[in-house]
Structure 1
Amino acid sequence: MTHQDPYRLTAPPAGTRTGGADDGPDAVSRGDVLRALLWALVVVSAVASMTASFGGAPTWVHLASGLVTVLAAGTLVVRALRGRR
């Protein structure tokens, strides 16, 4: 067994497993990244909708931000329901 230095600045030799984040059970999947981005989109679009409401923005701004909020939240719900199966 060889010891890998976690603070190494050079790339390990080809074909060796480094034990990095992409190898273990704690790796971040694409689904996790997508869920985080969708939640951020829900929050940003909801804040934009509230800001438009208080700022007296045109109707199309309210509709656009509301549509983005509903689509992102709906996508989160669909992904959560499909993940239960």
Structure 2
Amino acid sequence: MIHADPARTRTVVPAQRGVTRNDLVRVVLWAVAVAAAVVNTVASYRGASLGTHLVCGLITAAGVGVLVVDGRRRR
């Protein structure tokens, strides 16, 4: 007789919830961090000033830092 594995036959439906403010903040932070990194890369190829690199680097570091803190807090 073959028995079905209950762990494989059980269907788990995730809870439906709307988009929260934290979800939007996380998406915006990712967008800002990626955009600043891209601008920094383009600035490197164009030979921009040190100030441009510092500003882009600080924005990227701040965005990533806040994302890390948020990720650790949600654990």
Alignment length (residue pairs): 61
Instruction: Compute the displacement of 1:25 (Å).
Output: 2.8
Matched, 1:56 2:47: yes
| Per-residue deviation, residues 16-36 of structure 1 (Å, max 9, x unmatched) | xxxxxxxx8330000000000
Give runs of aligned pairs for residues 19-38 of structure 1, distance below 5 A. Answer: 25-38=16-29
Runs of 4+ in 1 over 6 A off after TM superposition: none
Matched, 1:46 2:37: yes
Unaligned runs of 5+ in 1: 1-23
What is the TM-score with the length of structure 1 in the denominator?
0.69
Larger helix fraction of residues: 2
Please name the residue that 2:10 is paired with: none
Q: Sequence identity, in percent? A: 41
Unaligned runs of 5+ in 2: 1-14
What is the TM-score with the length of structure 2 in the denominator?
0.78
Q: Which has the higher contact order (CA 8 A, sep 6+)?
A: 2
Please name the residue that 1:3 is paired with: none
Instruction: Compute the displacement of 1:75 (Å).
Output: 0.2
Please name the residue that 1:76 is paired with: 67
